[in-house]
Amino acid sequence: MAGLNHVVALTKNLKDLDIKMNEATLKGQLIDLHLAVVELKGSVLELKNENLEKEMKITELQAQLNQKVDMSWEDPFYFKKSADGKKDGPFCQQCYDSKSTIVRLPKPDSDNPWYTCKTCTSSYNNPNYSPSSHNRTCDMRYDPLDY
């Protein structure tokens, strides 16, 4: 770090000061030292910020890595394995594959065969949908022999 080397050089100069050095030269040396310390302080703050940014990036990457490990694919959905081993979901395949975003799919009505993502509007067929229960409701209102 250039700022640190500058401060060390200046303090070495002060240590070797001739006791007979005039006041103006001494003040000049102290001003140089003060400016070098201020510059060094700026460098330290810059490094602290860089370090903080890197720590945040590491945290973000670890979170992404954990998501990758915990997600499982069961066509047409993704499911997440929670800490207690339970299966959570379903989640949108389109959002996860394109943006690594986990978006929960709201449960469709019993008479609706589709799960629809509210973020990307992708629709997925509901594997639990039973057309017979839907048709039975219709059959009750329609009798082909009744003219």
Nearest-approach distance from CB 8 to Zn ion, in angstroms = 58
What is the Cα–Cα distance from 104 to 119, expressed in whole angstroms? 9
**DSSP single-letter state for residue 144:** T
What mask of x and - would describe binding to Zn ion in positions 122 to 141, judged by CB under 5 A? x-------------------
Looking at the Cβ atoms of 36 and 78, the one nearer to Zn ion is: 78
Quote the strand ranges of the chain, DSSP E.
71-74, 77-81, 87-91, 114-116, 123-125
Which amino acid, one-letter code, is at 121? T
Please report how close the Cβ of residue 120 comes to Zn ion at its closest, in angstroms: 3
3-11, 52-60, 70-78, 115-123 -> range binding Zn ion (CB under 5 A): 115-123
User: Comparing C-alpha atoms, which of 136, 134, 141 is closest to residue 110?
Assistant: 134
Tokens read off for 32 = 């140089």
105 contributes a contact to Zn ion by CB under 5 A: no
Alpha carbon separation from 38 to 25, 27, 31, 100 (Å, rounded): 20, 16, 11, 44
Choose which of 119, 125, 133, 137 interacts with Zn ion (CB under 5 A). Answer: 119
Tell me the window of 69-77, 88-96, 124-132, 139-147 that interacts with Zn ion (CB under 5 A).
Answer: 88-96
Decide: is 95 part of the binding site for Zn ion (CB under 5 A).
yes
Binding site for Zn ion (CB under 5 A): 92, 94-95, 103, 117, 119-120, 122
